[in-house]
């Protein structure tokens, strides 16, 4: 039997990570917290983009909550002309009992299905003053893709997550051709 452990940290809701001057991803922490432990049957957007990501062609956002009370917020934006994910602007934080911890080096790998939707993610999160990274993974339990009126292609996945032994749930979204 799983139990719902609310996030044990007093942080402002919403919380934001800046990706570029004047552009940040803002999360609804209450919605993120509600994901653990039940998860979602469909991908759900838990964030908004404030400002414009000019000169960027890809945005990836991962939101996750875990039964041990932690939450993970991750965002990456790929500049036009970038050769790959190694050139993305990346920001991440882990929220837990010690408050928000900025991830110094957030690494994420995405495995895609034949239709281009994400089906698995793996994480390596290097926190300040830690000798070892937090490691995690997520498996898609549901996916959805759509193209909006402005030609932005969006792919999303509801994820069954694990982070250093803790079960959780997440939502991973990818927007292309911003």
pTM of the model: 0.85
Residue bearing the bigger pLDDT, 34 or 127: 127
Write the Ramachandran bin of 156: left for phi over 0, alpha for psi from -120 to 50, otherwise beta: beta
d(CA 40, CA 18): 26
Token pair for 26 = 């803002």
pLDDT digits (tens, 9 = 90+) for 59-109: 999 999 999 999 999 999 998 888 877 888 999 999 988 788 889 999 999
Give the residue extent of every domain in the chain.
15-176
Token pair for 159 = 């994820």
Task: Give the lowest-confidence range in 4-8, 169-173, 174-178.
Answer: 4-8
Check whether 37 has a pLDDT greater than 90. no
For domain 15-176, which architecture applies?
Beta Barrel (2.40)
Cβ-count burial of 114 within 10 angstroms (0-12 exposed, 13-18 middle, 19+ buried)?
exposed
Between vectors from CA 95 to CA 93 and to CA 99, what angle results, nearest 5°? 110
Residue bearing the bigger pLDDT, 81 or 11: 81
pLDDT digits (tens, 9 = 90+) for 122-137: 999 999 888 999 999 9
């Amino acid at each position: 039997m799983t139990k719902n452990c609310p996030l044990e940290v007093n942080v402002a809701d919403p919380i934001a990570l800046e990706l570029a001057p004047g552009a940040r991803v803002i999360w609804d922490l209450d919605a993120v917290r509600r994901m653990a432990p039940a998860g979602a049957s469909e991908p759900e957007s838990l964030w908004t983009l404030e400002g414009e990501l000019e000169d960027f062609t890809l945005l990836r956002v991962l939101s996750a909550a875990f039964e041990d009370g932690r939450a993970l917020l991750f965002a990456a934006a790929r500049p036009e002309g970038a050769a790959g994910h190694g050139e993305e602007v990346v920001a991440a934080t882990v929220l837990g009992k010690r408050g928000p911890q900025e991830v110094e080096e957030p690494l994420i790998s995405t495995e895609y299905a034949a239709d281009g939707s994400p089906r698995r993610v793996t994480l390596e999160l290097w926190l300040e003053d830690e000798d070892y990274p937090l490691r995690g993974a997520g498996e898609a339990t549901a996916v959805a893709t759509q193209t909006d009126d402005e030609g932005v292609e969006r792919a999303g996945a509801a994820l069954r997550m694990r982070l250093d032994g803790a079960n959780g749930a997440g939502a991973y979204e990818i927007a292309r051709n911003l």
